[in-house]
Amino acid sequence: MCDACHFKNTRWAGWNDVPAPVIGGVGGPWLDLSHTLTEDLSAIPNYPRPTFEKWRKIPDYPANITLMNMVVHHGTHLDAPNHFIDDAPSFDQVPLHRLYGPGVVWSFPCTEYGFIDVPDLESARPLVQPGDIVLFDTGWAPKMRTPAYERHPSLTPEAAQWLLDHRVKMIGVDFATPDRAPTNRPEGFYWPVHHTLLPHGVLIAEHVNNLAALSNRRIEAFFTGLSIIGSDGGPVRAIARAVD
């Protein structure tokens, strides 16, 4: 059976069992993990170009009003379960406690089209805990707006299963997608990382920024995206701080 066929009828399996998040009272400064939304951010090649324009301006109008037109997967954002799983919850149906909590940032310097695999996760420190948000710092975010950004690394399907088995509730990558880059996909490719994590409610953050200061540390993070009815994702202003 082909790999793609294995995923084509993936169904919603329900939120995976993770502990309720507890936010501590002591930690470092909050850091912004989001790219500023602009029209020239690197994006999946077939996405429509976003636009941001002043629909009304002072002094011709009493207030400045910006009009935005873009896919919800442009810039730093979260994928909702229904992004790939048709019967799964949309972004407005994601429980609030799935959007924040403790976690780790792991540093994996990667080559173009490189893979993060199970042995990498096994050796990563600090150790992952059930309910963690796991963010991957590969050094790719500074390549934004360059051709190299499109040749990003990815997670193997086995690494995705490892993360699910360790009961994480969210992962985040500092590039476009934890699956293979669009320019490095074999025939019949069917997004195995998304199809492993999303059916169990493990959210996926993409285009995460500014992770270097938090690398290989325990953190607290908030990824509170826009609650858009029926949406398969949401733009986020993500923040995090070190708590180790």
Asked whether the predicted pLDDT for residue 77 surpasses 50, the reply is: yes
Q: Per residue in 104-158, pLDDT tens?
A: 999 999 999 999 999 999 999 999 999 999 999 999 999 999 999 999 999 999 9
Q: Which of 180, 183, 159 is nearest to 171 (CA)?
A: 159
pLDDT-above-70 percentage for the chain = 97
The model's pTM is 0.93
The percentage of residues in the chain with a pLDDT greater than 90, rounded to a whole number, is: 91
In this prediction, residue 3 carries a pLDDT of 58
What's the rounded Cα separation, in Å, for the pair 55 and 1? 52
Report the CATH superfamily, name and number, of domain 3-242. Answer: Putative cyclase (3.50.30.50)
Q: Does residue 1 surpass a pLDDT of 60?
A: no
Residue extents of the structural domains in the chain: 3-242
CB neighbours (10 Å) of residue 131? Answer: 22
User: What does each C-alpha distance from 29 to 26, 51, 98, 177 come to in angstroms?
Assistant: 10, 32, 22, 27
